[in-house]
Every structure is written in C-alpha cells, then in structure tokens.
C-alpha cells in the first residue's frame, strides 16, 4: 500500500475529532479564545443544543484582517511567544481549535482590532475559506458556528438530545464563570431568558451567584500555601453532598480540569465524613509555577500532569481536612430546611396539664406516650466516657443555664424515644442523635490514643470463642498484627473460629461476634496493597460503632450534657463515622416560621 499525504480538509477533520468532541467542546475553545484576548464581557448563544448555532461574542483585543487569515490555519497561534511548551500561561496554545471547528461546520468569524477603525469578516464552509470582506462590529470578536458536524454526519449519530447537549454547554460556562469573576458572562439557549453573571469584585461573590448562597453558607474556606504553590477555595460541609460529582470544580492556574487524581484527593480528604455513594461539593483553585505543570497532555486540555504529584495530593488532603476540622461542628442548613418541610400542624386530641412548678424539676416528666423525658440541666463530667458513676455536686439551676446555654451546643433539656437529645441554645434548639454523636467521639479518641500509643486494653479472664465462616476467619487473621495494635488480641481456634484474649477497654461488654463479622465484611473489598491508614479507619469505625451509646438507652441529664461538652471538643463531631449528621439545628426564626409568626 502506497504511503501518501492526506488532504488538508481531512487532516482538519481528524483534528476536529480530537479537539471538538461535541458542541460544548467548541464552546469551550471559543470562550477560552475570548478570555485569552482579554475580554471583560462574553456572550454565548446556542440553538438546538449547539448543533444549529453556536455564537460567542466578546469585547476583547480583536484581530486584524491578516491575523484572521492566520487564525484559521493549523498550528498558528499568538499564545506561545517564547516557544516554550513548559511556560504556557494561556488557554489555546495548540492553534487547532478554529481550523478544526471550521472544517466540520459553517463558521463565520468577524473581528475588529482594538484601536482600528475597520472590522473584517471571513466565512469558512467545511474548511473552504471565502474571501475576507469588511463588516460591522463595535469591538472584539464574534464567532458564529452553524450546522456543526454537517460535513461529518457520522459524528451526529453520537450526539445526545438537544437538552442534554445544552446542559453540557451550560456546565462549561458555569465552570469558566467561577474561575473568572472579573468577566461578565451571558448564556442564552434558543429563545429563553439569558443566564447572566455580572462581573464581581471577588471569587466568593461569583461562586455564590453560580452555585448558590446555600453553598457559601454551608461550606468552609480552604487555604494552603508553600512557597509559590497555593490552594484556595471552598469545601462544602459533609452534610452538604450530592448524588454525583458535578458540583466539584477544580482549577489549575485558572484552567478548569478533570483529573481523577485530584478527585480522589478530595474523596480521601473527606474520608468517613461522607455518606456512602455521596459526593462532596467543592471549588478548589490550585496556583503553581507554570513549569511545574504540563497542560499539553490532552487534546481538549481537560487533563494536566504535575511534576510533583505527591506535593499536590498531600496539600489538597491537608488543606481540605484542616478546613473541615475547623468547621466540623456545623451541619448544613439544608438539613434543617428538609426537616422543617416534614413538620405539619395537627389537632390536639387530648389536653395535657404540666405539673405546676417554676422551672424544670430534677425528676423526669413523662408525656402520655411515655417517650419523652424532660430534665433539669445539671453539670457534666469533665473527663471520661458518658457514665452515671461520676459524682457531681449540683449547682444552682440559673447559674448552670447561664454558664452553658451560650455554648455552641447549649444545654440538654430532653431525651426523645431514648434515641434523640433535645438541647436549647441561644439561637434555637438542637436535635442530637446520641448514637451518631458518641460514635464520632469514640472514633476520634481511638485515633488519638493510637497516635499517642495509649490504647487501654481489657484482658478477658475467660477467652471468648467466636465461630465464623472459614473465609472470614482467614481475612481477620490476615490483619491480626493491625488488630493487635488496636487492643484486639486474637488467635485461630480451629478452621472456623477465633479465640479472643484481649479487647480495647471500650468493648469489654460488646458483642464480639458482631464486631468481628463487621471487621471481616469491611476488609472484604480491600486488597493486600490497601494503605494501613485506610485499614485502620475501617477498624476504628467498626469498634466505635459497637462501643458507643446505642439508640434505645435512657440517658441521665448528666450523661446528655457530658455528651454535648465532649462533642464541642471533638473534631468533625457534626458527622458520625458513616457520614450521617449527628445533629440538626433549628434556628429561632425556623421555629417562628413553623407557627407562622
């Protein structure tokens, strides 16, 4: 077979297959060109999901007649003045976008150079260039792409519905709007009302306008800096999560990217704060020297390669975790809104007369259902787990309330269904899940004790024999050395049983069979190369779940307030080890709204 050169139009169509995958790819390339041209206002219009029309107009620097002719040639660009591929500070550096788009569409390019009196227009029909002619344009450049992929009809078969393609385009506009808050963006689909983001003074305002005020209110600021490497942005509270990762936005030197390594870093940073199969919401900006990142590894420029991947990974995890620990005693306000939506007014079927008294009495007051206990606040034990054995001197009621009511989690006033604690604060009330809250406390204590090598152990006078499936026994024995460090001393006892000689003190009265079954299940999907930290987290989570206060246990007021005080001093106490919220806050205004006040 004879080797030959391919025709120019076919070469451009092949390049288009790499650069212009679908309509949103064309929009992305054109908008990036506008940003590189220094535009302060960018208007995008699409029809039929971008297939019938894509129009991008800006007020940027514009082009002369000769520059327009060069712009539609392959590998012609103004964005590599030094010729150094390791020093790319612009978006479109390949010089392939315009000729690639023009080869598979009917494209009209109109531009007026800043400071010039003349505007020019050129039309390209499936790669065939017309003569340049004078045009009318106030400033900048307008690119109109019609009948996208008409010259490559096979590509049309792979496009999705117009609504879906429009969603892709809208998403890329939103991503760019987040990164460039000083630029005004307008997006109009068909004849609908345009979506407009006016220029903002700061990133926070733009993020709020794009992602909503709820995201800003329910997120924490992320910051990390080392020399010329910097990470900023916002990470949503664990209780503000989504069913997919579309609400995660990552930027490297202003470039929106999709990088699996960075996504995995964010997932690792949240760890067990995130419920299973849920995704955190976040906006992360990474700024670093141009020479330390290669943006030339993907035709569509959506992926990058870092010179020091470990630095980037460690910095993201550290920055996000630190931010979450700072704001770890808060839950998303959306949870309270969801809770309020389930309240409904109901008639009172039976009047109830409370005992006559000036304040809460020290004895419980049981409602007709017997499911609610009201208590007078008392002080809490300062150290140790929740326990009724701690002797406390009873202070004056008013003195105790005044001292603790203004604290973050307030004072406990009731227990509902032996599972939930009601606490009163200066700003409203809290509903605390006692098991979830104590589970997080136990987990964080175990982690700290492990780091301090201070795990308290309990030697069993009579070793416990646990029968399990032989495969489960084998899995557990495979990590026996790791379990030993956590205070769980085990041995094989036949083919399908374990002998337990020692347990952590917190598990001295627990169901050992249930614990080891859960541990075996947790490590089932972990291979031999699993990181020790991941394995430890699985073990700590299992032990904490079995070693914490269970729902159904009646607590004294001392125990309830002890739990609140321990939550206030525990990192990430707003979530249990499975990512569920440990409490819900209802503000005073929320309560007033319920009663239409």
**What one-character-per-residue DSSP string does 136-205 give?**
--SSEEEEEEESTTTT-HHHHTT---HHHHHHHHHHHHHHHHHH-TTSEEEEEETTSPPEEE---SSHHH
Q: What pLDDT, on the 0 to 100 scale, is given for residue 578?
A: 78
Both tokens of residue 166? 């429009």
- One digit per residue, the tens of pLDDT, for the chain of length 597 reads 667 666 666 666 555 555 688 899 999 999 999 998 999 999 999 999 999 999 999 999 999 998 888 888 876 665 555 545 545 556 654 456 788 888 889 999 999 999 899 999 999 998 888 889 999 999 999 999 999 998 888 888 889 999 999 999 999 999 999 999 999 999 999 999 999 999 999 999 999 999 998 899 889 999 999 889 999 999 998 888 888 888 999 999 998 988 888 888 898 898 878 877 788 999 999 999 988 888 766 655 667 888 888 889 999 999 999 998 876 566 655 666 666 565 555 554 554 444 444 333 333 333 444 455 555 444 444 434 454 333 333 443 566 667 777 888 888 888 888 889 999 888 888 999 998 888 888 888 877 877 777 788 888 888 888 888 888 888 888 888 888 888 888 888 888 888 988 888 877 667 777 777 777 777 666 654 445 556 667 777 777 777 777 777 888 888 888 899 888 888 888 888 777 888 888 888 888 887 877
The reported pLDDT for the residue numbered 369 is 44
Sequential DSSP letters for 326-383? HTTT---HHHHHHHHHT------SS---PPP-SS--SS-EE-TTS-EEE-------SS
Question: How many whole angstroms separate alpha carbon 520 and alpha carbon 494?
Answer: 17
Helix and strand tally (H, E) in the chain?
19, 27
Rounded Cα gap, residues 438 and 555, in angstroms: 12
CB hemisphere CA count around 97 (13 angstroms): 23
Q: How far is CA 474 from CA 124, 133, 444, 465, 515, in A?
A: 69, 79, 28, 15, 15
pLDDT at 224 (0 to 100)? 93
Q: What's the pLDDT score for residue 234? A: 95
Contact 141, 43 (CB under 8 A): no
Please give the sequence-ordered ranges of beta strands (E in DSSP) within 200-358, or none if there are none.
219-226, 229-236, 241-242, 248-252, 255-257, 279-280, 282-287, 293-294, 305-306
Q: Is the dihedral of CA 25, 30, 36, 41 positive or negative?
A: negative
Query: What pLDDT was estimated at residue 359?
Result: 38
């Amino acid at each position: 077979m004879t080797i030959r050169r391919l025709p120019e139009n076919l070469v451009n169509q092949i390049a288009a297959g790499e650069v212009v995958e679908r309509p949103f790819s064309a929009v992305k390339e054109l908008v990036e060109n506008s940003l590189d041209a220094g535009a302060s206002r960018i208007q995008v219009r699409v029809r039929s999901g971008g297939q019938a029309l894509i129009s991008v107009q800006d007020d940027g620097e514009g082009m002369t007649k000769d520059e327009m002719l060069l712009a539609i040639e392959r590998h012609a660009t103004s964005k590599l003045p030094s010729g150094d591929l390791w020093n790319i500070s612009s978006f479109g550096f390949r010089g392939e976008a315009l000729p690639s788009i023009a080869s598979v569409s009917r494209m009209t390019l109109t531009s007026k150079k800043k400071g010039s009196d003349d505007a020019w227009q050129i039309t390209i029909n499936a790669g065939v260039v017309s003569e340049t002619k004078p045009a009318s344009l106030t400033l900048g450049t307008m690119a109109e792409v019609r009948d996208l992929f008409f010259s490559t009809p096979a590509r049309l078969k792979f496009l999705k519905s117009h609504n879906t393609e429009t969603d892709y385009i809208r998403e890329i506009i939103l991503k760019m709007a987040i990164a460039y808050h000083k630029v005004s963006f307008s997006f109009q689909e068909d004849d609908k009302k345009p979506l407009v983001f006016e220029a903002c003074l700061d990133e926070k305002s733009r993020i709020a306008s794009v992602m909503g005020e709820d995201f800003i209110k329910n997120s924490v600021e992320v910051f990390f800096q080392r020399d010329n490497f910097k990470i900023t942005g916002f990470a949503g509270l664990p209780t503000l999560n989504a069913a997919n990762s579309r609400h995660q936005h990552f930027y490297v030197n202003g470039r929106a990217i999709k990088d699996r390594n960075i996504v995995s870093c964010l997932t690792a940073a949240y760890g067990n704060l995130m419920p299973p199969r849920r995704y955190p919401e976040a906006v992360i900006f990474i700024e670093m020297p141009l020479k330390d990142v290669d943006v030339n590894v993907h035709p569509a420029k959506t992926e990058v390669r870092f010179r020091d991947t470990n630095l980037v990974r460690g910095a993201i995890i550290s920055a996000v975790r630190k931010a979450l620990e700072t704001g770890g005693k808060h839950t998303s306000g959306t949870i309270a809104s969801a809770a309020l939506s389930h309240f409904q007014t109901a008639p009172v079927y039976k009047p109830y007369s409370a005992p006559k008294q000036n304040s809460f009495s020290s004895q419980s007051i049981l409602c007709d259902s017997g499911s609610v206990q009201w208590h007078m606040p008392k002080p809490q034990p300062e150290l140790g787990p929740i326990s009724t054995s701690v002797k406390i001197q009873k202070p004056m009621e008013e003195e105790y309330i005044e001292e603790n009511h203004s604290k973050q989690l307030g004072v406990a006033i009731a227990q509902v269904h032996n599972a939930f604690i009601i606490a009163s604060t200066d700003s409203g009330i809290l509903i605390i899940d006692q098991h979830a809250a104590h589970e997080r406390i136990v987990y964080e204590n175990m982690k700290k004790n492990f780091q301090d090598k201070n795990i308290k152990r309990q030697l069993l006078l009579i070793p416990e024999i646990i029968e399990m499936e032989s495969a489960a026994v084998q899995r557990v024995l495979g990590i026996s050395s790791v379990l030993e460090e956590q205070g769980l001393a085990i041995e094989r006892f036949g083919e399908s049983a374990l002998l337990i000689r020692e347990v952590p003190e917190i598990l001295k009265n627990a169901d050992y069979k249930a614990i080891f079954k859960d541990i075996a299940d947790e490590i089932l999907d972990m291979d031999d190369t699993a990181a020790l930290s991941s394995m430890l987290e699985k073990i700590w989570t299992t032990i904490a779940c079995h070693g914490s206060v269970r729902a159904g246990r009646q607590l004294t007021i001392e125990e309830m307030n002890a739990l609140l005080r321990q939550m206030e001093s525990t990192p990430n106490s707003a979530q249990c080890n499975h990512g569920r919220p440990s409490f819900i806050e209802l503000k005073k205004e929320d309560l007033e709204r319920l009663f239409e006040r």
